[in-house]
A = this chain, B = another copy of it.
Amino acid sequence: MPHTSREIQLASRPVGEPTPENFRLIEVEVPDPGPGEVLVRNTFMSVDPYMRGRMNDVKSYVPPFALDEPMQGGAVGEVVASNDDELAVGDTVVHMSGWREYAVLHGKACKKIPADLASAYLGVLGMPGLTAYVGLLDVAELRDDDIVFVSGAAGAVGSLAGQIAKLRGHTVIGSAGGPEKVAHVVDDLGFDAAIDYRRGDLPGQLRDVAPKGIDVYFDNVGGDHLEAAIGHMRPHGRIALCGLISMYNATELPPGPNNMMQVVGRRITIRGFIVTDHAARAADFERDVSAWVRNGDIVVRETVVEGIERAPEAFLGLLRGANTGKMLVRLS
């Protein structure tokens, strides 16, 4: 029985900030699943900052989205038809065929997950969560007594990175945009302090809330945050470069931090990383973080936009910082 599914295609490549015109909503007929395949009705899809890079036609660590094809990304859904031995109708799965209501997938491309944690597998228990976990523990090599600074602290990755550091007993400083997010980071997530980058003067604000300096910087935004962090770092500090959302829409390459001299003098390590290199840590991550989530040790916040037709809006909002916690689209 064929299903009608709506999906979002990439209609044109954005120059600078994407606009709704870069996306196209179309209706397609979904074929029945073949041998070894399943049909999944997606319930949530993820929008993530890294998708902006895939909209450009440049070689990178993930291939670009194709024009006039459905976009891709993390999604969770329910199996509604199965020709796979290990997946049954009614199972909840996570997979990479988002931006569409129905997906036909090889069973091997799906991972079965607990239904009650479905959306969490796009955030705290998914790729953003693993990013926070390995970025803080492995890339930044978190050590006892480190003072930790996290930008994008109200976002999916930053909120978890900071909370993991707090669970380990560290002093943790966040950066977020606007007073509501700053309050959320301190009051709900338990960071020791947070600065509002919209108020400007990052170096001064950082000095005020972290008078002793910082040892670890988990960078989700780049730009002036990176420069301020280098300038405020104690000797032997470490910077995990996760993403540079402040630069994703840049049409000209922005200047880098002007204080590379201090990277020498303070023996700072700056390390870029991509979460897919760290799959070997997935089991440790899932064990630790799922226990924290079930015990209530970690506060999980989601911003949910309703309906696939609003997925572009959700994505554009994400790039402007409209979300608190993980940005998701619920597909009804």
Q: Chain A interface (Cβ within 8 Å of chain B)?
A: 53, 60-61, 222, 226-227, 235, 241-244, 247, 253-274, 277
Please tell me how many copies of the chain the complex holds: 2
Are B253 and A259 in touch, CB under 8 angstroms? yes
B255 and A258: CB pair below 8 A? yes
Cross-chain contact A265 with B274 (CB below 8 angstroms): yes
Give the 10 A-B residue pairs with the shortest CB-CB distance, closest first: A256-B256, A255-B255, A253-B258, A264-B272, A263-B272, A256-B257, A270-B270, A269-B271, A241-B264, A256-B260
A277 touches B272 (CB 8 A): no
Partner of A264, one of B242, B255, B262, B268: B242
Give, as a whole number of angstroms, the nearest-CB distance from A233 to chain B.
10
Q: Which residues of B contact A242 (CB under 8 A)?
A: 264
Q: How far is the CA of A273 from the CA of B267 in the complex (A)?
A: 5
What would 13 more interface pairs be, CB under 8 Å, given A255-B258, A256-B259?
A61-B235, A241-B263, A247-B260, A247-B261, A253-B261, A254-B258, A255-B256, A263-B272, A265-B274, A267-B273, A267-B274, A268-B272, A270-B270
Distance to closest chain B CB from A270 (angstroms): 4
Q: Contacts of A244 on B, CB cut-off 8 Å?
A: 260-261, 264
Residues of B contacting A277 in the complex (Cβ-Cβ under 8 angstroms): 267
The complex places the Cα of A253 from the Cα of B273 at a distance, in Å, of 27
Smallest Cβ-Cβ distance to A271: which chain B residue = B269
A247 to B265, CA, bound (A): 13
Residues of B within 8 A of A272 (CB): 262-269
